[in-house]
Structures are given as structure tokens and as C-alpha cells.
Amino acid sequence: MTKIKSLADLRAMKQSVQEKLDTRVKGTEEGLVQVKVAMATCGIAAGAKQVMDYMMEETEKRGINAVFTQTGCMGYCHAEPTIEVTRPGEDPVVFGYVDIKKADQIIEKYIKDGELVDGVIPVNYEKIKD
Amino acid sequence: MHLLICGGTGCSASKSQEIADNLKITLKDKGLENEVQVILTGCFGFCEKGPIVKIMPDNTFYTEVKPEDAREIIEEHVIKGRKVTRLLYSDPENDQRVADSKHMGFYKKQMRIALRNCGFIDPQNIEEYIGEDGYAALAKCLGEMTPEQVINEIKLSGLRGRGGGGFPTGLKWEIASKNHADQKYVVCNADEGDPGAFMDRSILEGDPHSVLEAMTINGYAIGATKGLIYIRAEYPLAIQRLLTAIDQSREYGLLGEDILGSGFNFDIELRYGAGAFVCGEETALIHSMEGKRGEPTFKPPFPAQSGYNNKPTNVNNVETYANVPIIINKGAAWFSSIGTEKSKGTKVFALAGQINNVGLIEVPMGITLREVIYEIGGGIKGGKEFKAVQTGGPSGGCLTKKHLDTPIDYDNLIAAGSMMGSGGMVVMDETSCMVAIAKFYLEFTVEESCGKCSPCRIGNKRLYEILEKITKGNGTMEDLDNLRNLAGVIKDTALCGLGQTSPNPVLSTIDNFYDEYVEHIKDKKCRAGVCKSLMRYIIDPEQCVGCTACARNCPVNAIKGEKKLPHLINQELCIKCGACIERCKFGAISIQ
């Protein structure tokens, strides 16, 4: 890795990362599904790691092109483990109380066909924008 | 198309399952069951107006829906595409019906500034942070601003310390910058110790780079080249993520020498704490970092004058730091437009206790408790009655029903006998005994007192003993005066901030729940049924059939009686374990 030596370097990097993130969020032509798993101490304690492992394995087995990332606390402690799924070109959806069984449903119904399953956590906050 | 029905506790109680069933039946009637899906969701948080039905993808938000409204929603909205106006949310301010939930006020109740990246980016990947404008604030400071301008921007923003005291951050930086020395230090206080608080841990685990960036900015502003993060060893994941983040920052040249070609050097190291509560106090924290006992010392000298290794040191809390980059990026004016006159920005709270949506929330200063509890928190568990909220942990106090509409900010909380603290918010319902709550926090303080000064070491122990006496049913009215007097003395004479605030839980419960204390003392009664010594298990001879189930299961053989004849509990032997009440099939045993 070359070091970031100036503001221009930083901007260039931001630009390239944003493009990468954008393609990830919007999905590529092959329809990349993005899954974020809330993995703070509490999420992990509630089983987020097992769910992530399971989903990574299963999506691969079922031939789904998905990318998994871990992220920090989403704030829904009452509904851990929580995951956020973004289908190509769609708004992200957060699911709560995701155990192995629910993870299976999410893959089969939501990731494959876009059918929601019970346990969606509604967004109830405002994010700051530029 | 999706119909989302709230399946949260509040809405379920008002028949949301039935609404879902009716919607499904109607859809089937119309042959639409394959086109439109009915989904139960988690709580929307807006339980006051529940049950909630949201139609996707057009974001229509129906409130206070009844099972019999299902048909109309399907026939009108789903089939004909016409909104059912009478079920739309009506804005209390202008009485207008709001169709799209994105325009509803309650979405604005939560605003994520400190938590802006938490739960969105991968904390172990610096590039994701950079993609979200990360390190842009640092670049701006180093490239375009003088240290004085940086300090001024923070001062203008009105940011105050989020660790508890609420000291103006910009002023703190200014004092540290004016003290000249060959070496200065920037310290991040990540010693989060309030029971039930996990705001700082969540930020460190979810967005560690924001803290590193802010500390570097802080270093530039006050002329320090070294940063230290004091973090408790009980936070292994936060530590691991911080270490990864520090490594990455160094690798990218955002920590180390000649950062961004500006000639400014800065590096950060971790220092581990063993989890003593008092080490959250800045002087004790500094001593602990120096390898000495974690005990506070008298201020002045303030750390800004003589701190770590006797050098000028600036100590700020994790959440305070998390606010800094965004203030630089978006400007002081933007930040100070949020919040109240004297408390700017937002505050993160760890919402816990008897509330439906236990969670991490971030709200603008000035929001009311009512909004937090009923519009974000989803109301009290099991539909019970709200009794009190404890804020500020062992240094704070209880807020009650009369404070529900008080805007939450630093000064209002202090006026109400509590304090902001680091952001723990424990909600209690009618099953909580306020004397026992005060005792719980005192027990914590007694356990955690460092023992250096006698008011805290001995005084709090005495307070605890008096509370113990009251909960055992041996209290006198004189004890109440003693509690008040002693608490006053401790407040006035303890050495550090922790000692000075430790009587707050006692004082605020006496002020707000005086009746409950008197009941414990005079009537020997605990209305919440918490204080075991004041409870009596009684067998009703009319209902008892003499089955002997209770007597056989009593662990201390306190129940006597002949078979098929009413039994009797020996109150002196009874340990109030409740085993008898669980075994009795005839409902003959009650608690008095």
C-alpha cells in the first residue's frame, strides 16, 4: 500500500472507494447481493457469527452471488442478531432475530425472490447527509 | 407489493396479528395472495399510534388500524391504488394527513451523528471509512486550518463532553493548547463503567477510525504528538478493532510521521485498564496509565496543566471524539443548529430496562423522555405503567412521570436531580422498588470506591447500611434525615467527581418517591414487592385443601400442617423464596 501523502491522494482514494461501494450497493450486472451482519460484542454473543458463517456457506452452495461484510452495532439490541440485506438496485432491508432457520428463509425467499419474510426491522432514524 | 404489519409487543397487544390474518384472508378472496405479501415486522417504535401498517414500495403509513379496516385497505389501496385517508397519520402540528412515512416527524426523532457509520461500514476496513468522508476532516485541518481555527470551530459548535460532566470541549482544548511544554498528550477515555452503558463500546467496535481521526485532530489543535486510548480490558473486541484500525492508519500514512505531507507527526497507543469504575475520572485514569494506583487527585492542577507524566494532557470521551470529524466537515454552525440553547448536537443513549425496544439510540438534545420511551423505545414492557428512568448511572438520579415532558439536556437533567452521565438510560415500571434501586447503586459505589477519601469510603458505606436497614423493615423516620444530611456532606466534601455525585441516587429517590420510603419505614410495606424482608407469604385457610405440596417443597421446613387440613407458614423460618406459591395448585398462597 502506498501511503496517502496529500489531500489529493485522499480525495482520489475516496473517489475510488466510493465507486467500489456504489457498485456494491447498486449491485453489478450479475446481481450481487450485499449482506451486512451486525457484529459488535453483543451481536456476536447473540449468535451473529454462526449466522454469518451459515449464510456464507449456504449462498455459495445455492449458487447465489453475495458479498458479506461485518459491521458494528446497528442499535437493535432487542432483536439481535440483526442483518441488513441489499438486493441489487433496491433499498436495504434490516432483519432482526436472525437464527439459522430465519437465515435459511431469508436466502430462499428474500435474496432469491425478493419476497420479504417476517421480522423486518423498520428504519426509524434519520441519517445525516451531505 | 408488501404489506408490513408491526408485530412488536405493543401492536400485538392491539391485535396486529388479527389484522395480518384479515389482510391475508381478503387477499385470498381477491386472488391476490401470490401478488401481495403480508409480513409481520419488528417494532416501528411508534407504538402510541399503533397498530401500524405500512405499504411498500410506496411507503404509505397507516396508523391505529383495526382488524376490520383490513378489507378497506385491500380494496381501496391495493386494488384501486387510492389511499385510505382516514387511517393516515395526522401531523399534530398542522393537522395534515401525512401519507409518506419519510415525511413523518417521528423519523426525525433519531438522528445519527456519533453513530453515523456504526452498523453501516466494515470497521476493520479503513477504505470504507475513507469512502464515507473519513479522514477528510483531518485533511481539512492539516491543510486549510490553523490549530487556533480548529479550536475555535469546536468552541463555536458548542460541543460538550459526552462522558458525563458536560464540560465545553473547545474550551478544554484551548486550555491545553495554551500550556506550553516539550511534550503534550491526547487521551481518549474509553473506560466506560456505568452499569448498563455500552455507547462507547459500540462506537469503538463499529467505527474506530472516527475516534483515531478526532484524536489526531485534537493533537494538531493543542500541539501534541502522542495519543493514548485508555480502554478497559473487558472490551476485547473493541481493543482488537482499535488495534487493527491503528495498524491500517499507520499503513496508509494517516498516523505516524509527516501526516498528509503537512509535517505534523502523531501516533496512538492503547493503555489497558482493569475495569475500576473510578478510572473513568480523568485524574485517576492518568495515574492508572502511569502505572500508579487508580486514585483521583485534587484539581487543580487540571490535566490540561499537568497530566500524564506531568505534561499537559487533554482527556476526552469516546463519544465526544466521534462528534469531532463531522463538526469539522460540516461546520460548527450546522452542529450548533441541532439541540438546545446550551446543549448542542445529539446524545447516544443505551436504552435498557423494562422497555420494549432495548437498544442503542441517538437523539437530538432537547428531546423529551416521553418521546424516547413511547416513540422510540416502543413503550413499557407488558403494557405496565411507567414509573421512573434512571440516567447517569451511579452518579445520576431518577426522573419520574413529572419529568416526562422535560427536554433532555445537560442542565435540565441536573436541575431535575440527575445528570446526563455517559448515557445509560434504565427504564423502570411499577415492579421496581425505588429504595432497592437506590441501594443497588450505592452497593455499586461502595464496591467501586477507591478508598482514598473518607467521605466516599466511609460515608457511602453508612448510606448503604441505612438503606439496608430500611429495606429490612427496621428503618425509622430519623433515618431519612440522616440519609439526607450524610448525602449532603458527601456531596460537599468528597475528593473527586464520582464521590461528589455518588449520593445522587439516594437523594433523587427520596425527593421523588418520599412516600415509598415512608411506606417502607412506617407500614413495613414494599409496594413493588421487591424487598423480601417486608413480604409475608400467607396461606388462606379457606382455599387450602391440605395437599402438602407446599410443605414438601419448602426448603427450610417453614410450613406445617396435617394432611387435608389447612397449612400454616412460620414467618420466622420463612426465607421468602416463593417455592410454595409456585407449587400451590389452588391459589391459596398470597403475598402481603
**Grid cell 470529524 in the structure block, residue:** B325
Q: Are residues A52 and A111 in the same domain?
A: yes
Q: Are residues B511 and B549 in the same domain?
A: no
Q: Are residues A35 and A93 in the same domain?
A: yes
Q: Note the ipTM here.
A: 0.83
B121, part of any domain: no
Provide, rounded to the nearest whole percent, the portion of chain B with pLDDT above 90.
66
Q: Searching chain B, which residue's CA lies closest to the CA of residue A96?
A: B42
Q: How far is B145 from chain A (nearest CA, A)?
A: 13
Confidence of residue B45 (pLDDT cuts 50, 70, 90): low
Residues B233-246: pLDDT tens digits? Answer: 999 999 999 999 99
Residue A18 is part of which domain span?
1-30
Q: CB distance from A101 to chain B under 8 Å?
A: no
Q: Are residues A74 and A24 in the same domain?
A: no
Report the DSSP beta bridge partners of residue B591. Answer: B537
Q: What single string gives the DSSP state of each residue in A48-108?
A: HHHHHHHHHHHHHHTT--EEEEEE---S-GGG-S-EEEE-TTS--EEE-S--HHHHHHIII
| pLDDT at residue B120, as a whole number | 83
Would you say residue A28 has pLDDT above 60? no
B386, part of any domain: yes
The C-alpha cell at B3 is 404489506
Which range has the worst mean pLDDT, B78-87, B130-139, B300-309, B317-326? B78-87
- Nearest CB neighbour to A21, from listed B109, B131, B201: B131
Contact B5, B19 (CB under 8 A): yes
Tell me the helix, strand and coil percentages in chain A, rounded to 5: 45, 20, 40
Mean of pLDDT values over B352-367: 89
Q: Are residues A62 and A13 in the same domain?
A: no
Residues of A in contact with B423 (CB under 8 A): none
Residue B388 is part of which domain span?
346-429
A106, part of any domain: yes
| pLDDT at residue A1, as a whole number | 58
Q: CB distance from A118 to chain B under 8 Å?
A: yes
| pLDDT at residue A26, as a whole number | 55
Q: Are residues A7 and A51 in the same domain?
A: no
Q: Are residues A23 and A45 in the same domain?
A: no
Q: For residues B525 and B97, which has the higher predicted lDDT (pLDDT)?
A: B525
3-state secondary structure of B90: strand
CATH code assigned at B54: 3.40.30.10
Q: Searching chain B, which residue's CA lies closest to the CA of residue A125?
A: B110
Contacts of B318 (CB under 8 A, 6+ apart): B162, B188, B189, B190, B192, B199, B200, B203, B204, B211
Q: Are residues A8 and A55 in the same domain?
A: no
Residues B448-471: pLDDT tens digits? Answer: 999 999 999 999 999 999 999 999
Would you say residue B213 has pLDDT above 90? yes
Residue at which a domain ends, from B429, B464, B495: B429
| pLDDT at residue B104, as a whole number | 66
Residue B559's φ and ψ, nearest 5 degrees, are -105, 125
Contact B232, B190 (CB under 8 A): yes
| pLDDT at residue B405, as a whole number | 94
Would you say residue A29 has pLDDT above 50? no
| pLDDT at residue B105, as a whole number | 62
Q: What single string gives the DSSP state of each residue in B461-526?
A: HHHHHHHHHHHTT---HHHHHHHHHHHHHHHHH-SSHHHHHTTHHHHHHHHH-HHHHHIIIII---
Q: Are residues A26 and A38 in the same domain?
A: no
Contact B549, B585 (CB under 8 A): yes
B13, part of any domain: yes
Would you say residue A39 has pLDDT above 60? yes
Which range has the worst mean pLDDT, B50-54, B182-186, B408-412? B50-54
Share the mean pLDDT of chain B.
91
Would you say residue B479 has pLDDT above 60? yes
Q: Are residues B445 and B515 in the same domain?
A: yes
Q: Are residues A12 and A36 in the same domain?
A: no
> Which spans in B252-317 are helix H?
282-289
Mean of pLDDT values over B485-491: 96
Residue B230's φ and ψ, nearest 5 degrees, are -95, 110
Handedness of CA B373, B378, B380, B385 (dihedral sign): positive
Closest CA to B479 of B533, B534, B518, B527: B518
Cα separation, A115 vs B280, in Å, equals 48
**Is A116 in Cβ contact with B37 (below 8 Å)?**
yes
Mean of pLDDT values over B340-363: 91
| Tally of CB atoms within 10 A around B564 | 10
Cα separation, B293 vs B295, in Å, equals 6
Residues B90-125: pLDDT tens digits? Answer: 776 667 777 766 666 666 688 889 999 988 888 999
| pLDDT at residue B326, as a whole number | 96
Q: Are residues B354 and B222 in the same domain?
A: no
Residues B255-282: pLDDT tens digits? Answer: 999 999 999 999 999 999 998 999 999 9
- Mutation target for A interface from B53, B61, B144, B360: give the one with most A CBs within 10 A: B360
Would you say residue A2 has pLDDT above 90? no
3-state secondary structure of B18: helix
Q: Are residues B175 and B268 in the same domain?
A: yes
**Is B41 in Cβ contact with A122 (below 8 Å)?**
yes
B175, part of any domain: yes
Closest CA to A100 of A60, A46, A63: A46
| Tally of CB atoms within 10 A around B475 | 22
Q: Searching chain A, which residue's CA lies closest to the CA of residue B358?
A: A78
Contact B204, B235 (CB under 8 A): yes
The C-alpha cell at B62 is 397507516
- Cα distances (Å, whole numbers) of residue A73 to A38, A118, B86: 5, 21, 38
**Is B41 in Cβ contact with A1 (below 8 Å)?**
no
B79: burial class by Cβ within 10 Å (0-12, 13-18, 19+)?
A: middle
Number of domains in chain A: 2
Which amino acid appears at position B319 of this protein?
E
Residue at which a domain ends, from B306, B335, B364: B335
Handedness of CA B346, B186, B396, A46 (dihedral sign): positive
| Tally of CB atoms within 10 A around B533 | 15
The DSSP symbol for B402 reads: G
Confidence of residue B34 (pLDDT cuts 50, 70, 90): confident
